[in-house]
């Protein structure tokens, strides 16, 4: 009976963790996706004298500001999590997401110029981005260091898969809101005000619901064991930024470790160029392939919304959820390399037939490429940085890798409009095909973490030679064991 109660308590605790950690990423996916849906509505409402659309540069500023905020959030919260502990930081990122989104929704209805509208949205979307960006290193490290359910990769990726669920939900909510306000919008286009503000407003709900539980999250056992009780190998002073920076310098001063961080950062940078080039511009792409057009503003927006649902439901969501089981079967590195190559081939095919194929075939290619993209590179770029590094630099390394990715997102957010205007969608897809090939190439620099537990990663097994690994032959249980083993080796 006592054993059954313990197991029941453990299941309840694990489900609670999934809901809290996954709920936050659900909100991140929702808030990230919505801006590509909101910008066309902003065009109809505030840019009626410029063909109902902001300029390519203005649209890029609105979309790209979120990623700029994410860069700062990922670096800040990643290092804070290592410096002062996961439990002292977790939840604070939600406050930024809530505050930033509220201010975006409160954009003045009248009185702002075109540049004023763009500036308001860009600034507060950046604040929102700081919160969602901070969620990446914090949630990933907590998931990696949580009591394992099945396998570490499955737990991390189940939590991460909530991101795709948030993306799909945003698209569905958009369809529902457009249907609810159809008659009002067709009578007076100004009624779109309610659609875009409500669309973004619903994205705050997951952050609000999980905020208290995040603030109450206990410290992880690995952080207590490897960091809190031993601030560094040489300095046992009170843990803080100085000690964390000292650990970071020591660990990454060795090229074998710095090379891995470079690989995870570069692969994520390249990947996000393609990923955000597509996801932030789905409305533009759907219109280009003939799926996001209509005879009235409502029909145009509705067709775009339906196209987003199809792509999310047929591509992003199944790819992310099926991908949960693949790293333990095929290995992280193999999955990254081969799925990136498959995505590159699909982009190349899409580019080749874009001007001649029917819109139904193009939307199928769109969904299939999103499926392979989310099946492999999306999940491995998130998973690998949290598995490859020891506890004392795990959050920082994941934050740097993720921030590098968002640098790629910023680059594509500000460049896609110009590239699309100059080269067309075919040229952009050809470029993305080349980028995904480079992602596969960077995967060759990344060690395989399949079958490794946190204690082995802590011991530096990934960077040891085969003879070193055979010598250890067991799980290193404590930092003193680690020092003895390394001294022997």
Distances (CA, A) of 400 to 286, 393, 397, 403: 33, 10, 5, 5
Instruction: Give the Cα-Cα-Cα angle 411, 321, 20 (nearest 5 degrees).
Output: 85
Measure the CA dihedral 366/381/123/101, to 10°. Answer: 80
Nearest to 379 by CA among 197, 160, 179, 170: 160
436: exposed, middle or buried (Cβ count in 10 Å: 0-12, 13-18, 19+): buried
d(CA 97, CA 104): 11
CB neighbours of residue 1 within 10 Å: 5
Instruction: Give the Cα-Cα-Cα angle 163, 167, 173 (nearest 5 degrees).
Output: 135
Rounded to two decimals, the pTM is 0.86
d(CA 140, CA 317): 19
In order along its 489 residues, the chain shows pLDDT tens digits of: 444 444 455 677 778 888 999 988 998 889 887 887 888 899 999 998 877 788 877 888 888 899 899 999 999 999 999 999 999 999 999 999 999 999 999 999 888 998 999 999 999 999 999 999 999 999 999 999 987 667 889 999 999 999 989 988 998 999 999 999 999 999 999 999 999 999 999 999 999 999 999 999 989 999 988 887 755 444 445 677 888 888 899 999 999 999 999 999 999 999 999 988 887 677 777 777 766 677 788 988 888 888 888 888 888 889 999 999 999 999 999 999 999 999 999 999 999 998 777 877 888 888 899 899 999 999 999 999 999 999 999 999 999 999 999 999 888 878 877 777 777 888 889 999 999 999 999 999 999 999 888 888 888 777 654 444 443 343 344 444 444 444 433
Query: Which long-range contacts (C-beta less than 8 Å, at least 24 apart) are formed by 426-432?
Result: 426/351, 426/352, 426/354, 426/355, 427/351, 428/277, 429/347, 429/348, 429/350, 429/351, 429/354, 430/347, 430/348, 430/351, 432/273, 432/274, 432/277, 432/278, 432/344, 432/347
Q: Which two structure tokens, joined as six digits, stand for 224? A: 């207590």
Q: What 3-state class would DSSP assign to 254?
A: coil
CB 371 within 8 A of CB 161: no
Instruction: Give the Cα-Cα-Cα angle 242, 245, 246 (nearest 5 degrees).
Output: 85
Give, as one character, the DSSP assignment of residue 228: I
Measured distance between the N- and C-terminal CA atoms of the chain, rounded to whole angstroms: 47
Give the chain's domains with CATH numbers: 8-225+253-451 (1.20.1250.20)
CB 75 within 8 A of CB 5: no
d(CA 283, CA 302): 11
**For the chain, how long is the longest CA-to-CA vector?**
79
Q: At what angle do helices 377-387 and 391-443 cross, to 10 degrees?
A: 140
Cα within 13 Å of Cα(317), Cβ side: 17
Q: Which two structure tokens, joined as six digits, stand for 251? A: 């660990």
């Amino acid at each position: 009976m006592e054993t059954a109660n313990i197991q029941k308590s453990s299941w309840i605790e694990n489900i609670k963790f999934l809901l809290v950690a996954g709920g936050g990423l659900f909100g991140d996916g929702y808030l990230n996706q919505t801006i590509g849906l909101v910008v066309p509505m902003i065009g109809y409402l505030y840019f009626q004298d410029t063909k109902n659309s902001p300029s390519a540069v203005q649209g890029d500023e609105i979309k790209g500001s979120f990623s700029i905020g994410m860069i700062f959030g990922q670096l800040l919260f990643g290092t804070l999590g290592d410096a002062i502990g996961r439990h002292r930081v977790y939840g604070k990122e939600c406050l930024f997401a809530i505050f930033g989104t509220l201010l975006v929704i409160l954009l003045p209805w009248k009185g702002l110029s075109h540049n004023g509208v763009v500036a308001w949205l860009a600034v507060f979307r950046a604040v929102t981005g700081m919160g969602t960006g901070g969620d990446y290193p914090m949630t990933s490290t907590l998931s990696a260091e949580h009591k394992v359910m099945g396998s570490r990769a499955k737990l991390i990726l189940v939590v991460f898969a909530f991101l795709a669920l948030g993306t799909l939900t945003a698209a569905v909510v958009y369809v529902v809101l457009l249907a609810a306000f159809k008659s009002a919008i067709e009578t007076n286009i100004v009624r779109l005000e309610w659609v875009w503000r409500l669309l973004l407003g619903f994205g705050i709900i997951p952050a609000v619901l999980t905020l208290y539980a995040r603030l109450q999250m206990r410290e992880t056992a690995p952080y207590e064991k490897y960091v809190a009780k031993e601030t560094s190998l040489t300095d046992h002073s009170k843990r803080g930024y100085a000690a964390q920076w000292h650990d970071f310098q020591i660990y990454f001063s060795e090229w074998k470790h710095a090379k891995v961080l470079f690989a995870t950062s570069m692969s994520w940078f390249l990947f996000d160029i393609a990923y955000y080039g597509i996801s932030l511009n789905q409305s533009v792409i759907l219109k280009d392939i003939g799926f996001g057009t209509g005879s009235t503003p409502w029909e145009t927006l509705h067709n775009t919304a339906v196209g987003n649902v199809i792509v999310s439901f047929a591509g992003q969501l199944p790819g992310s959820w099926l991908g949960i089981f693949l790293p333990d079967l095929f290995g992280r590195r193999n999955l990254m390399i081969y799925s990136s190559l498959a995505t590159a081939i699909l982009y190349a095919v899409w580019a080749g037939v874009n001007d001649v194929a029917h819109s139904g075939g193009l939307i199928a290619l769109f969904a299939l490429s999103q499926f392979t993209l989310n099946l492999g590179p999306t999940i491995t770029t998130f998973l690998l940085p949290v598995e490859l590094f020891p506890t004392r630099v795990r959050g920082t390394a994941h934050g740097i890798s993720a921030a590098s990715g968002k640098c790629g997102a910023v680059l594509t957010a500000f460049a896609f409009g110009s590239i699309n205007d100059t080269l067309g969608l075919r040229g952009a897809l050809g470029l993305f095909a080349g980028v995904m090939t480079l992602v596969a190439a960077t995967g060759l620099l990344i060690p395989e973490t399949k079958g490794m537990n946190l204690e082995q990663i802590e011991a530096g097994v990934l960077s040891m030679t085969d003879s070193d690994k055979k010598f250890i032959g067991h799980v290193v249980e404590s930092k003193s064991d680690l020092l003895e083993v390394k001294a022997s080796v």
